[in-house]
Amino acid sequence: MAVQKGCTTSQLALAWLLAQGDNVVPIPGTKRLDRVKENLGALQVSLSAEELAQIENISPKGAAAGGRFPGQN
C-alpha cells in the first residue's frame, strides 16, 4: 500500500496512527534529521475509509497483543 501511495512504510504507519482520532498522538523516536523529515511526510499521506478498512483487515486490533519480552503475557 505504501508503494501505491508513493510513501514509505513508516509514513504509512504514522498516517494510520494520525487517522485514529484526536486522542492518539504518535511519538516516533529518531536520532537522525533525515528520519524526522521522513516522518513529517506522513502529514501529506491521506488514507480513505476503504484504505483504513484494508489496513484493519490485514492487522486487526489486538493482533499484536502480548508481553514485551518472551514468556510475558
pLDDT at 72 over 70: no
- Confidence at residue 73, expressed as pLDDT on a 0 to 100 scale: 60
Count structural domains, the chain.
1
pLDDT at 70 over 90: no
Query: Is residue 66 one of the residues assigned to a domain?
Result: no
- Confidence at residue 69, expressed as pLDDT on a 0 to 100 scale: 82
Query: Is residue 50 one of the residues assigned to a domain?
Result: yes
Query: Is residue 44 one of the residues assigned to a domain?
Result: yes
| CA distances for 14 relative to 49, 69, 70, 71, angstroms | 16, 24, 27, 29
Query: Is residue 64 one of the residues assigned to a domain?
Result: no
The parent domain of residue 15 ranges over 2-58
Query: Is residue 69 one of the residues assigned to a domain?
Result: no
pTM of the predicted structure, to 2 decimals: 0.81
pLDDT tens by residue, 27-69: 988 999 999 999 999 999 999 999 999 999 988 888 877 777 8
Query: Is residue 67 one of the residues assigned to a domain?
Result: no
